[in-house]
């Protein structure tokens, strides 16, 4: 399936309650550019269906307390929205037992 990277990115930003003006920067782990510069080079179609991954997986779109990061499965690609977590209400010292997963799954919802 063909997808336009710029349109996909703008649509995903808006689906998550943000606007283009909320983007602080776009880039990778070791370099960045402005949103306007990203728009100049990202207006192209790519195949986001299964097969080979076409968009660099290290690409980020960053806001003040949120970011988009690329994910893929077997070549199928998409954005995921991430938000800075809220600070939990309980401040405690961690112990080694809390850092290990006992049953292979960790459920943050059951922590109360």
* 104 is a domain residue: no
- Return mean pLDDT, the chain: 85
Rounded CA separation 6/43 (Å): 5
pLDDT of residue 27: 95
85 or 35: which leads in pLDDT: 35
21: in domain: yes
DSSP 111: G
Structure tokens at 54: 């076409």
Q: Is 111 inside any structural domain?
A: no
Instruction: State residue 26's pLDDT score.
Output: 97
Flag whether pLDDT at 13 surpasses 90.
Answer: yes
What mean pLDDT comes out for the span 17-33? Answer: 95
Q: Is the model more confident about 41 or about 86?
A: 41
Task: Tell whether 56 is covered by a domain.
Answer: yes
**pLDDT of res. 28:** 93
Domain-located, residue 79:
yes
């Amino acid at each position: 399936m063909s997808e336009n990277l710029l349109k996909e990115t703008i649509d995903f930003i808006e689906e998550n309650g943000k606007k283009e003006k909320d983007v602080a920067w776009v880039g990778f782990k070791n370099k960045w550019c402005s949103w306007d510069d990203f728009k100049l080079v990202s207006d192209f179609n790519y195949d986001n269906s299964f097969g080979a991954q076409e968009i660099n997986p290290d690409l980020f779109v960053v806001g003040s307390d949120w970011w988009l990061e690329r994910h893929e499965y077997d070549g199928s690609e998409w954005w995921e929205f991430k938000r800075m977590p809220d600070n939990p209400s309980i401040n405690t010292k961690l112990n080694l037992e809390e850092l290990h997963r006992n049953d292979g799954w960790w459920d943050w919802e059951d922590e109360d």
